[in-house]
Structure formats: structure tokens, C-alpha cells
DNA sequence: TGAATAGTGTCTATGAGACATTATTAG
DNA sequence: CTAATAATGTCTCATAGACACTATTCA
């Protein structure tokens, strides 16, 4: 294990080294329920986070974020991607590093420096793994509910930080697309934003987002083969124009 | 060293653990030189980064970012703050974590997961420590120059990432204040922004930044004891109004 | 026809952007 | 007076924000 430390100039090996570099992954998803008894209407959407009930010490029986220990053969990003695949079965989703947690005593097993990621996953991708069975070892909790629970380790803090991050990014980047199909209506987009950031409110949302000049084209209209506007009536009587995100990322500034 | 691992349920201890958790600190500063032969005029400003010449293996003799190994008695943030104080003598400056670096083989000494911070320091705070003596072991390089050098480890990548970060933050937050005195003129602010983000250009900068209604007060005018506007003629014949940053942080959004 | 969502008309005040012009002071 | 920076005048057009109104389709 110490073959790489042969060089006598290497002083840090005289000190204690970390007992592990785990990753913690905050998996967010938005679930949709159709309003019952109503005709075609927009679904009720809920921002949820995936938690796993721990089976062993420490924090046995408590809910915790999924994650695991980084191996010497992988980067922390690769570890997060591997753990996400192992625990949820999903790959090719938005997975982003956001902070490190190293407070003393955060893990009774020893000196653990944890790297926290958030993942944004479509509800459909998690099919089967997260039944509504409350006795399950894996469950999707509404974020508000999860924040009020006694989670393992410092996972409540990590969850809160992750939530702050995706709220900021929801308004300043196009990550809303991670919760939407490739083609969507303006109302769907608005609903997704509001589900993550309840304080967001724009009366004339459709005006602003579709006024090409100012937004410079964050969205573009979807056209069919004949160049005609493509509409959807999935959530409404009257068909609505479908849009998709472009690659354009506007630069934000407080100065102009 | 293993007394905390007594519990038999602790499986990760069977695996190899990291050989260290170093921090790397990208210390940015803006140096000013008065234009010679001119009367009162704005100084030439340069964004610089602090590098240290390594004295031992690995990368002996090459320039590297300051930093050091995290101890078991401190968080990585505390480590960064301690190293910054030890290597530059400064405390109470803006120090911010921005990324983790764990690619395989990035450090020939072993499995090192490095935590990267950037610090924003006023030129005056570094007095004495960074003489213009090229033979010194510590030197402030213009950022462009540093990026073209063969730095130790993956420090060129870390430096580039840090630069991207502060460019983004310069435009979306009030970190410009870290490079300015508490009271400053609009021209000084504009110069600082342009030094960090050369592509930034606003013809009517003073109009936008001082139109209270739109900016909702990022800046406020400094008044003297009699409630009269306080002016400065440090850089100009005609005295200019002094401003300071308020606590207001506008929320940015691509949607409205 | 009513419910539900989609989308437009219209008005005002404000802001962005461009450029010319004036103001203040040192030397 | 000139150099150098500070600041305002003025014009046009776009956008924000508010709110009323019309449009489309299903059941």
C-alpha cells in the first residue's frame, strides 16, 4: 500500500490520512399526479428526494442519502456515477458536484471527507425502484418532508445546500430541461420552475420567454415536417405550441 | 489509528483509503501601476495569481499553487485558511471553495484528493511577501502568463477553472468589492471588472449602475457628515462621486 | 354551454443603447 | 489653454408589468 511513498521527501505520509472519501448523492425528481375527477388538466407536481434506510451502524434504521466510498481506481465523479447506477439503476442523467463536507465528527466511523452531488432524474427513470410502499428501503420523499426528518450524518445540511443550489440553477441555467421531455409547452416549463422555486412568479411568462429579441432564443418553437407549428393537447383542451431548449446560454450580470 | 473502526459492520476499512486530502489555493490579486509621465490618471491594472516554486519532489523547481495537507483536526476550509495565512500572511480575506480534483495519477506521491479554493486579496495585503525579484520563491504572475507555464500537478487546470469561476462571479455577485477600497468611484469599479473580465463592456456603465430603480441599489452614494456627496480626485482632475456596495444582492434569472 | 388552458391587445412607464455634449480641475 | 476623467442631454426603440380580452377544444 505504501509503495508509492518510497521517496524520502514525502513528508505528509507521516501524518494521519483520511479514513475514506465517500460521496453523497441528492437525487431529485418531480412526480406528477393527475387531478382526479377533472378532465384534461395540468398535473400536480411535487419535488422529491430519494432516501435510503440504513441497514447497519452507524445511524442504523435512519434515512440517509444514497452514496458510497470512492475507490482508488476512480475519481469522485466516477464514484458518484457508479453509486447512482447501483442504487437507482439510472445513467446518463444530470449529475453535478456541489460541495465538500468535512466537519469533525460528522461520521462516527472516522475521518471522512464527503463529496456531495445532486442528480436530476425524470420520474419515469426510477420506475420500480421506488414503490410507494412505505416499508421499502428506498423512498421518494417530498423535499419539505425530508428536511423535517432526522436524517443520518449531516445529510439534512447537505440536502438543504443541494436544494439551494438547484433553486439558483433553475433560474440561472436551463436545468429545467432535466425535468421535462425534449418537447414541452410553456405551461409545463412554468410548472416545473414553480415546483422547484415556489416563489417564482411571472404574470406574463409566455410573453417574456417567447419574445425572441430579449431572450435571444433560450427556447425555439418545434415545427413538424411541413414547417408548421407542432402543438400538444396532452394537458389542455386547446392545443399548445411545443417548444424545446436551444443551446443558447445567456450571460447573466448584475451590472447590465 | 484504527480505534474508531472497532465496529465489525464497518466495511470500508477493508479498502484502501486516500493518502491525503490536500488543498490548493488560487490567490488572485490586482496590481496597479501608475502610468508614468502622465498627470493624474487611472492606473494600469493587472490580474495576477500567486505561485510558489517547489523545493522538493515531486515537480521540484516548478511553479505551483500554494496549499498543503488537511489535518485530522480541521475541515478542508480551515486547512485552506491556515495555509493561506502561513504562506501569504493574510487572514480575513475572501476565500471560497470551488472544486475537487481527484483524477488518477494527478499526484505521484499517491492517491490524493485535492480541494481547490480561490482567494481574492488586495495588493497591499501581500506587501513584502511577493517582491518583484524573479529569483524569489514566491511570485505574482499575470494570469495569462501563468496559464502558459508548465505548472506542477494539474495546477494549470485548477487555475483555469478558478479563473472561469471568478469571471462568472465578478459579473453575478459583488465580489468586485474584494479588489476595491470600501469607497470607490464608478471608474475604479469599471476598471476592476474589466481587469478580470476583459470582454465586459458597457458604454453607459455609470447610467446603469446608478439608476436606482433598475439596479434596486447595488451601490449607494457616500455622503459626508453634512449629508453632502463625498467626492474623490485621486484619479482625476475633476472630483468623482464615491460609492460603496450595499448588502443588496439581486436575484438573477434567465426567465424574467 | 361551461370548464380549462392557450394566447393576444393595449396601455404606460421604464430601461437599453448610442452619441453628442458639457463640467471640473491640475498643471 | 489642454489633458484627462466625470457626468448629463437627448433621441429611439424595446421591454416590463398590469389587466382585460379572445381562442380552442372536450365533455
Examine the pLDDT at A24 and tell me if it is beyond 60: yes
Side-chain half-sphere of A231: how many Cα atoms within 13 Å? 7
Look up the CATH superfamily of A22-172.
Answer: Nucleoside Triphosphate Pyrophosphohydrolase (3.90.79.10)
Say whether the CB atom of A238 is under 7 angstroms from strand D: yes
User: Cα separations (Å) of A165 from A98, A119, A121?
Assistant: 8, 11, 16
pLDDT for B210: 83
Mean pLDDT rounded to a whole number for chain A: 89
Among B residues 127-166, those touching chain A with beta carbons less than 8 Å apart: none
Q: Averaged over B24-50, what is the pLDDT?
A: 86
User: Cα separations (Å) of A255 from B74, B149, B209, B244, B252?
Assistant: 38, 33, 6, 14, 11
Q: Which residue has the cell 475604479?
A: B188
- pLDDT: which is higher, A117 or A228: A117
Q: Which percentage of chain B shows pLDDT scores above 90?
A: 72
Give tens-digit pLDDT for A183-210. Answer: 999 999 999 999 999 999 999 999 888 8
Annotate B199-228 with b (16+ C-beta within 10 A) or e (fewer).
ebeeeebbeebbeeeebeebbeebeeeeee
Distance in Å, residue B43 CA to nucleotide C16 C1': 29
- pLDDT: which is higher, B55 or A256: B55
What distance in Å separates residue B17's CA from the closest CA in chain A?
Answer: 5
User: What is residue A77's three-state secondary structure?
Assistant: helix
B58 vs A contacts (CB less than 8 Å): 7
- pLDDT: which is higher, A177 or A250: A177
Q: Averaged over B153-174, what is the pLDDT?
A: 97
Question: How far apart are the C-alpha atoms of B116 and B162, rounded to whole Å?
Answer: 8
Examine the pLDDT at A109 and tell me if it is beyond 50: yes
User: What is residue A201's three-state secondary structure?
Assistant: coil
Q: Which residue is nearest to nucleotide D3 (CA to C1')?
A: B39
Sketch the domain layout of chain A as residue ranges: 22-172, 175-245
Examine the pLDDT at A37 and tell me if it is beyond 70: no
Say whether the CB atom of A239 is under 7 angstroms from strand D: yes
Residues 6+ apart with CB under 8 A from B245: B174, B177, B218, B219
Give tens-digit pLDDT for A216-239. Answer: 689 999 999 988 999 999 888 899
Give tens-digit pLDDT for B230-250. Answer: 999 988 889 999 999 999 988
pLDDT for A129: 63
Examine the pLDDT at B4 and tell me if it is beyond 90: no
Q: Averaged over A143-150, what is the pLDDT?
A: 98
**Rounded-to-5 percentages of helix, strand, coil across chain B:** 30, 25, 45
Residue B1: pLDDT band by 50, 70, 90 thresholds? Answer: very low
What nucleotides of chain C have any atom within 7 angstroms of a protein Cβ? 3-9, 14-19, 23-27
pLDDT for A40: 72
Burial class (CB in 10 A: 0-12, 13-18, 19+), A39: exposed
Residue B11: pLDDT band by 50, 70, 90 thresholds? Answer: low
Q: Which nucleotide is the nearest neighbour of B204, by CA and C1'?
A: C17
pLDDT for A3: 38
Q: Per the omega criterion (within 30 degrees of 0), is the bond before B197 cis?
A: no
Contact A163, A142 (CB under 8 A): no
Report CA torsion sign: A78, A82, A88, A89.
positive
Q: Which nucleotide is the nearest neighbour of B215, by CA and C1'?
A: C15
Say whether the CB atom of A203 is under 7 angstroms from strand D: yes
* Dihedral (Cα; B51, B55, B58, B63), 10-degree rounding: 20
pLDDT for B212: 64
Say whether the CB atom of B185 is under 7 angstroms from strand D: yes
Contact A130, A136 (CB under 8 A): yes
Q: Which percentage of chain A shows pLDDT scores above 90?
A: 73
Q: Averaged over A140-168, what is the pLDDT?
A: 98
Q: What is the DSSP letter of B178?
A: G
Contact B105, B111 (CB under 8 A): no
Tell me the whole-structure pTM to 2 decimals: 0.92
Give tens-digit pLDDT for B102-145. Answer: 999 999 999 999 999 999 999 988 876 655 555 568 999 999 99
Examine the pLDDT at A75 and tell me if it is beyond 90: yes
Amino acid at each position: 500500500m505504501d509503495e508509492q511513498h518510497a521517496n524520502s521527501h514525502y513528508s505528509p505520509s507521516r501524518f494521519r490520512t483520511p479514513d475514506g472519501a465517500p460521496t453523497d448523492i441528492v437525487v431529485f425528481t418531480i412526480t406528477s399526479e393527475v387531478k382526479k375527477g377533472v378532465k384534461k388538466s395540468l398535473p400536480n407536481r411535487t419535488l422529491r428526494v430519494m432516501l435510503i434506510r440504513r441497514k447497519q451502524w452507524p445511524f442504523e434504521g435512519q434515512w440517509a442519502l444514497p452514496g458510497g466510498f470512492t475507490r482508488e481506481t476512480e475519481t469522485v465523479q466516477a464514484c458518484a456515477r457508479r453509486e447512482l447506477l447501483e442504487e437507482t439503476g439510472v445513467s446518463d442523467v444530470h449529475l453535478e458536484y456541489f460541495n465538500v463536507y468535512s466537519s469533525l465528527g460528522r461520521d462516527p466511523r472516522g475521518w471522512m471527507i464527503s463529496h456531495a452531488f445532486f442528480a436530476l432524474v425524470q420520474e419515469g427513470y426510477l420506475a420500480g425502484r421506488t414503490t410507494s410502499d412505505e416499508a421499502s428501503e428506498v423512498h421518494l420523499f417530498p423535499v419539505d418532508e425530508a428536511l423535517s426528518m432526522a436524517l443520518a450524518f449531516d445529510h439534512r445540511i447537505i440536502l438543504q445546500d443541494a436544494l439551494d443550489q438547484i433553486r439558483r440553477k433553475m433560474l440561472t441555467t436551463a436545468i429545467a430541461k432535466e425535468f421535462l421531455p425534449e418537447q414541452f409547452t410553456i405551461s409545463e416549463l412554468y410548472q416545473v420552475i414553480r415546483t422547484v422555486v415556489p416563489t417564482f412568479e411571472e404574470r406574463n411568462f409566455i410573453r417574456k420567454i417567447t419574445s425572441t429579441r430579449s431572450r435571444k432564443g433560450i427556447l425555439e418553437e418545434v415545427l413538424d415536417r411541413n414547417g408548421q407549428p407542432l402543438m400538444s393537447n396532452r394537458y389542455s383542451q386547446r392545443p399548445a405550441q411545443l417548444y424545446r431548449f436551444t443551446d443558447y446560454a445567456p450571460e447573466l450580470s448584475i451590472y447590465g
